[in-house]
Amino acid sequence: MRRVAVLGSTGSIGTSTLDVLGRHPDRFEVAALAAATNDQLLLEQCRQFRPAVAILESGEAAARLESALRAGRLPTVVRSGPDALAECASSADVDVVMAAIVGAAGLPSTLAAARAGKQVLLANKESLVVAGPLLVEAARAGGATLVPIDSEHNAIFQCMPPGIDTGRSVAGVRRILLTASGGPFLRTPLERMARATPDEACAHPRWRMGRKISVDSATLMNKGLELIEACVLFGMEPRDVEVVVHPQSIVHSLVEYVDGSILAQLGNPDMRTPIAHALGWPDRIASGVQSLDLVTAGRLDFEAPDGARFPALGLARSAAEAGGTAPAALNAANEVAVGAFLAGRLGFVEIPRVIEAVLERHRGRPAATLEEVLDTDRWARDLADSMLAGAAMAGA
């Protein structure tokens, strides 16, 4: 029986994880659940899975949850705050940590799990983007296993030889090809994209995701972040990681070897597949996903991404090439810009412009410590916020 902590349990990845876990009560025990503010859904999850611990970022939400659990005579202990997350992730009562907290907020608990030698299921891409080398180093020092959850990186992981060492290049691999759906604006005229609304940007044609990552998919920044992740996870240079648009989202990524072989992982677009793979690894367990019918799928199309339509992808590649703290600045500026767009304070096509302006003022340095990474994160957020405030004042 493996004890699992699901950090980010009320998000799309978290709920999918619990769906898979619920199918295998003989293999897994839900030891802990954590969320930001959604105490109502977390309460329902606690009733179903009876975790020992439940954590909320919000103290007010934690108080409401604790009161409800007591009224229902449930024994789950309620805690709140980032320290509680890190303690949970490193607890001796946890074997597997699903790191699915969105944004840089998920970094400390992911690092704590790695240092404690857990099997870390990486759904928090910002941990790799912002502090990839630090995370890989922590995993090696703690004896942790890192298994990627992103459908693309999980596909790459499955196409690599068994026993790969995270962060080190694999002999015989020539390049990695990351597939991108192209999002909701793949065929939208450029002038129309300037008027795109948050709801339109979040209407992904293939995947059901949270609003922030849905916007990243619409700008293709998600693919840029994944490019940085792939370099860290698999020891690749940015020039050896390519992005191809594949609208059907059936081929989740490919690995090319020096002998000319290209291995691909295919499946229906459902996050329960990579989640089940990571939970069961190195075994295979049922995910609940319907089998892929290639005849019904009919065709698989691929094309190069349009740099004019998706400038965020080029910004991410530049940050990957610069290395050091540049990816942290990129990620922070993107989070601020996407948040402003979702709040109706920024136009869709202005998202990459804010990111580019922040990167132009960034002075790179090695990402040698967590403090340096977090300093860059705060600096980039403050700068992006000030730019947005200045733009608002100018338009007033």
**At 358, which amino acid appears?**
V
**Model confidence pLDDT, tens digit, residues 341-370:** 999 999 999 999 999 999 999 998 888 888
DSSP 8-state secondary structure symbol assigned to residue 105: G
Q: Report cis status (omega within 30 of 0) of the bond before 282.
A: yes
Q: Which regions of the chain does DSSP assign to beta strands (E)?
A: 2-7, 28-35, 53-56, 77-80, 96-99, 119-122, 145-148, 173-180, 241-245, 251-257, 262-266
pLDDT band at 393 (very low <50, low <70, confident <90, very high): very low
Q: For 147-157, what is the mean pLDDT?
A: 95
pLDDT for residue 207 = 67
pLDDT band at 165 (very low <50, low <70, confident <90, very high): confident
pLDDT for residue 106 = 86
Give how far Cα 195 sits from Cα of 54, 289, 341, Å.
Answer: 41, 36, 11
Q: Contact at 8 Å (CB) between 348 and 298?
A: no
Helix (H) or strand (E) holding 282: none
pLDDT band at 54 (very low <50, low <70, confident <90, very high): very high
Q: Could you tell me the strand order of the sheet in which 262-266 lies?
A: 241-245, 173-180, 251-257, 262-266
Residue 301 three-state SS? coil
Residue-averaged pLDDT of the chain: 93
Q: Which two tokens stand for residue 41?
A: 């859904």
Query: Do 2-148 and 323-390 share a fold?
Result: no
**Model confidence pLDDT, tens digit, residues 194-247:** 999 999 999 877 767 778 889 999 999 999 999 999 999 999 999 999 999 999
Return d(Cα 275, Cα 32) in angstroms, integer: 17
In this predicted structure, the answer to whether residue 69 has a pLDDT above a threshold of 50 is: yes
Q: Is 181 exposed, middle or buried (0-12, 13-18, 19+ CB in 10 A)?
A: buried
pLDDT band at 391 (very low <50, low <70, confident <90, very high): low
pLDDT for residue 26 = 96
Residue 254 three-state SS? strand
The CATH number assigned to the domain with range 2-148 reads: 3.40.50.720
Q: Is 92 exposed, middle or buried (0-12, 13-18, 19+ CB in 10 A)?
A: exposed
Q: Contact at 8 Å (CB) between 292 and 265?
A: no
Residue 124 three-state SS? coil
Count Cα neighbours of 173 within 13 Å in the Cβ-side half-sphere.
24
* Backbone phi and psi for residue 79, each to the nearest 5 degrees, phi listed first: -135, 170
pLDDT for residue 368 = 85
Q: For 42-59, what is the mean pLDDT?
A: 96
pLDDT for residue 152 = 94
- The domain ranges of the chain are 2-148, 162-269+291-321, 323-390
pLDDT for residue 227 = 96
Q: For 25-45, what is the mean pLDDT?
A: 96
**Model confidence pLDDT, tens digit, residues 233-279:** 999 999 999 999 999 999 999 999 999 999 999 999 899 999 999 99
Per residue, what are the HEC states of 187-231?
CCCHHHHCCCCHHHHCCCCCCCCCHHHHHHHHHCHHHHHHHHHHH
pLDDT for residue 64 = 95
**Model confidence pLDDT, tens digit, residues 275-311:** 999 999 999 999 999 999 999 988 999 999 999 999 9
Instruction: Give one word for 177, left, alpha or beta, with left for phi > 0 and alpha for psi -120 to 50.
Output: beta
Q: Contact at 8 Å (CB) between 223 and 178?
A: yes
Q: For 174-195, what is the mean pLDDT?
A: 92
Question: Can you name the CATH fold of 323-390?
Answer: Rna Polymerase Sigma Factor; Chain: A (1.10.1740)
